[in-house]
Amino acid sequence: MNGQIIKSKAEIRAEKLLPGNQDFTSITEDIAGVPEQKNTPIQWWLLFGLALSLLGIFAGSVGFLIWEGTGVWGINNPVFWGWAIINFVWWVGIGHAGTLISAILHLFRQNWRNAINRFAETMTLFAVICALVFPGIHVGRIWVAYWFLPIPNQMAMWPNMRSPLIWDFFAVFTYFTVSLLFWYTGLIPDLATLRDRAKGLKKKVYGFFALGWRGGNRQWQHYELAYLVLAGISTPLVLSVHSVVSSDFATSVIPGWHTTIFPPYFVAGAIYSGFGMVMTLSIIARKVYNLGHIITVEHLDKMAQIMLLTGCMVGYAYSMEFFVAWYSGNPYESFAFVNRALGPYWWGYWAMIFCNVVVPQFYWFEKYRRHIPFLFITSILVNIGMWFERFVIVVITLHRDFMPGAWAMYNPTIWDVSIYLGTFGLFFTGFLLFLRFLPMVSIAEAKLVLTESDPHHGDHHE
């Protein structure tokens, strides 16, 4: 047509996701170049120093907790569950976006995920480690934490398999293992890339973990099937994990917890907060490592759209909880919800509403979805909001139950705060080491976005 070059839909899409003239070589160079660089950026060292300090605080606080017992926390009667469970649920929730991106978006063939999935999966891994810390340490006598496991023993003592707490243990443990396997499987071809480009000791180490990958189609064939199956089984897994977490609450009889809306509502909130965290981390990483042409504004825009969707879902759940509390005619239920909004912890409730319901409404507008500083600030607000959601559910519900005589206020102690801050140290130490030594974007999968990777590229279909 008048000598114009007519582009196919696939080409236009590829250009949006990988702008500029990129080819297989430049993608390898850009992504593998990061862990190979001789001079680590100064920002990395600053963040790593901060992360290590927080990790020190973590180790000290957990050590003191184990020495002294869980009495150092602010938990009391009736608020038996304090920050430990809030932080546990918060961290697990953050992990969920990683699995959603790597598994569910893979099944839906959303190839824009290829730029952020490695990133998000790594986030999942460390977030779940941080989450697992809390059930591990909250038992007080940490040296008998193995009692969680169904191990035959001379006391004939078994976990109660009919309790949601043990379901939760199995769910999160499975989730961690499957996430680790998924993450490692995705890494194998990229480790081979790093092996092929490295020299000396590095070559040996990368080579060891690359397992002798040679990129032959006889290998890709089984590899792709394994990857597809992992994506397929991670999808129901990720939906089950937060549903099971919610059943810790929902199977109890406490007004405000005993609701059937919990599983879907928890899953939506988890994905919402997880995307917030992926957004925060990817904005920092693309800035520090100049990867704006691989993790593009297009990607951030799409993540903001998912946050809008899941933000509206949690907003719907908040209003539905109120509706059902009123409609049920149960005075305890109604009281629990009025107390959330207007009771002594009203500020927690309204902080949650502001961050989770009001803030995402800006994402209706493309202007805000593509405004990077705005996205950065709101993505942090999202996670603050989601922390408050768990605060609302745990503390506000527990502090006033059936009998006014049993009511009490809850105050966290310095150890609650230091362990929570400490888990950031654990998370960021791991994450920064990952950024330093491993490719933060999947090299093999990023290439699949290029139209040249299609064996029918250039064929004419009139």
Partner 1 sequence: MNSYGILARFDSPKSLMHAAEKVRDEGFEKFDCHSPFPIHGMDEAMGLKRSKLGYLIGFMGMSGALFGFGLQSWIHSIEYPMNISGKPFFAYPAYAIITFELMVLFSAIGAVFGMMFFNRIPRFHHPVFYSEKFSDVSSDAFYVSIEVDDPKYEESFVIDFLKDIGGTEIEVLKDEI
Q: Which of 61, 122, 193, 296 binds partner 1 (CB under 8 A)?
A: 193
| Span near partner 1 by CB under 8 A; candidates 56-64, 94-102, 217-225, 379-387 | 217-225
- Residues 6 or more apart whose CB falls under 8 angstroms from that of 143 comprise none
The interface with partner 1 within residues 65-124 (CB under 8 A) comprises: none
Count other C-beta atoms under 10 Å from residue 245's C-beta: 28
The interface with partner 1 within residues 19-58 (CB under 8 A) comprises: 23-25, 28, 32
Binding-site string for partner 1 from residue 120 to residue 159, where x marks contact by CB under 8 A and - marks none: ------------------------------x-----xxx-
Gap between the Cα atoms of 1 and 217, Å rounded: 39
In angstroms, what is the minimal distance from the CB of 125 to partner 1?
14
Answer left, alpha or beta for residue 216, where phi above 0 means left and psi between -120 and 50 means alpha: beta
**181 near partner 1, rule: CB under 8 A:** yes
Gap between the Cα atoms of 61 and 67, Å rounded: 10
- Residues 6 or more apart whose CB falls under 8 angstroms from that of 215 comprise 189, 192
Q: Which of 49, 140, 215, 292 binds partner 1 (CB under 8 A)?
A: 215
| Nearest residue (CB) to partner 1, 179 versus 423 | 179
**199 near partner 1, rule: CB under 8 A:** no
Gap between the Cα atoms of 462 and 458, Å rounded: 12
In angstroms, what is the minimal distance from the CB of 152 to partner 1?
8
| Span near partner 1 by CB under 8 A; candidates 125-133, 224-232, 353-361, 420-428 | 224-232
The closest of 132, 128, 226 to 180, measured between CA atoms, is 128
Q: Which residues of 412-434 are buried (b: 16+ CB within 10 A; e: fewer)?
A: beebbebbbebbbbbbbbbbbeb
Q: Which of 185, 290, 361, 411 binds partner 1 (CB under 8 A)?
A: 185
**411 near partner 1, rule: CB under 8 A:** no
Distances (CA, A) of 102 to 64, 111, 199, 272, 424: 38, 10, 31, 15, 23
In angstroms, what is the minimal distance from the CB of 449 to partner 1?
10
What is residue 69's DSSP assignment? -
96 within 8 A of 242, measured Cβ to Cβ: yes
- Residues 6 or more apart whose CB falls under 8 angstroms from that of 140 comprise 69, 70
**8 near partner 1, rule: CB under 8 A:** no
| Span near partner 1 by CB under 8 A; candidates 227-235, 279-287, 367-375, 411-419 | 227-235
In angstroms, what is the minimal distance from the CB of 461 to partner 1?
14
**322 near partner 1, rule: CB under 8 A:** no
Answer left, alpha or beta for residue 215, where phi above 0 means left and psi between -120 and 50 means alpha: left
Answer left, alpha or beta for residue 290, where phi above 0 means left and psi between -120 and 50 means alpha: left
| Span near partner 1 by CB under 8 A; candidates 100-108, 124-132, 172-180, 262-270 | 172-180
Binding residues for partner 1 (CB under 8 A): 23-25, 28, 32, 150, 156-158, 160-163, 166-167, 170-171, 174, 177-178, 181-182, 184-185, 189, 192-193, 195-197, 207-208, 211-226, 229-230, 233-234, 236-237, 240, 244, 247, 443-445, 447-448, 452-458
